[in-house]
């Protein structure tokens, strides 16, 4: 294994994108191997690298790690993005968990039919503006600090910015009623490592297209139709 973390996934967002975000925010360079064929995937399976027969998989610090949450927790702890004590870690876990729920509504969006996409788009915006964004708006307003937890940059901030940008792709003015989140977005986006990741030419992946969907379906043999919430 090389010194840089190596990420095994498709050339697209999916569950790996949050891992890319967190590594980039921590200032960590990483390599990627993109799965393009069923044979590549089966080779990983046969080699015993995929503990639960799933990707994402990350080679890092002599380990082959699977399970997205475990990978993210390890990165956050290693690079001091996981709070200073157990109470702060619990808050980070809660906020990340909530953001995960919101992002989960978006994850399968590319695999929906055109009709279901319109229904899901409205559902995502409704959930974001009525359930999730009000929580973070209140947190930021109540404590008056720049970051979600302990007034220090953490995994929770990275994850929330990623989610905000994903929802804005569905409705560009979705933050119009959330002034605290508008200011938060500007602050976090200006952090040098995050700003670099947001610039053209970075390893951040674009909105999933038909080619990405077809590759995932072919490699994972997804022969079923995904349904909207």
Beta strand residue intervals within the chain, DSSP E: 6-9, 31-34, 57-60, 63-66
Q: Domains in the chain, start-ordered, CATH in brackets?
A: 6-79+198-220 (3.40.30.10), 86-190 (1.20.1050.10)
pTM attached to this predicted model? 0.95
Where does residue 62 fall: left (phi above 0), alpha (psi -120 to 50 degrees), or beta otherwise? left
Q: How far is 76 from 95, CA to CA, in rounded Å?
A: 14
Q: How far is 114 from 214, CA to CA, in rounded Å?
A: 15
Where does residue 106 fall: left (phi above 0), alpha (psi -120 to 50 degrees), or beta otherwise? alpha
In this prediction, residue 150 carries a pLDDT of 94
In this prediction, residue 224 carries a pLDDT of 56
Q: Which of 149, 167, 165 is closest to 157 using CA atoms?
A: 149
Q: What is the pLDDT along the chain (229 residues), one digit of tens a residue?
A: 458 999 999 999 999 999 999 999 999 999 999 999 999 999 999 988 888 989 999 999 999 999 999 999 999 999 999 999 999 999 999 999 999 999 999 999 999 998 999 999 999 999 999 999 999 999 999 999 999 999 999 999 999 999 999 999 999 999 999 999 999 999 999 999 999 999 999 999 999 999 999 999 999 987 656 666 6
Residue entry with tokens 């788009």: 121
In this prediction, residue 1 carries a pLDDT of 46
Q: Which of 130, 112, 96 is closest to 22 using CA atoms?
A: 96
In this prediction, residue 227 carries a pLDDT of 65
């Amino acid at each position: 294994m090389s010194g840089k973390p190596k990420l095994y996934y498709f050339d697209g967002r999916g569950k790996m994108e949050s891992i890319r975000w967190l590594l980039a925010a921590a200032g960590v360079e990483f390599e990627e191997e993109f799965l393009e064929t069923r044979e590549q995937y089966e080779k990983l399976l046969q080699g015993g690298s995929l503990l639960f027969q799933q990707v994402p998989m990350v080679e890092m610090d002599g380990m082959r790690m699977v399970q997205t949450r475990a990978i993210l927790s390890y990165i956050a702890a290693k690079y001091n993005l996981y709070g200073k004590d157990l109470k702060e870690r619990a808050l980070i876990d809660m906020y990340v968990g909530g953001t995960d729920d919101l992002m989960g509504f978006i994850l399968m969006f590319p695999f929906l039919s055109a009709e279901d996409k319109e229904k899901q788009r409205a559902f995502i915006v409704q959930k974001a503006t009525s359930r999730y964004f009000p929580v973070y708006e209140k947190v930021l307003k109540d404590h008056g600090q720049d970051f979600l937890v302990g007034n220090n940059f953490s995994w929770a901030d990275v994850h929330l910015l990623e989610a905000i940008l994903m929802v804005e792709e569905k409705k560009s003015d979705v933050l119009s009623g959330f002034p605290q989140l508008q200011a938060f977005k500007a602050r976090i986006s200006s952090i040098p490592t995050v700003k670099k990741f947001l610039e053209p030419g970075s390893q951040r992946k674009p909105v999933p297209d038909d080619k990405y969907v077809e590759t995932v379906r072919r490699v994972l043999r997804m022969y079923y139709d995904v349904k909207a919430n």
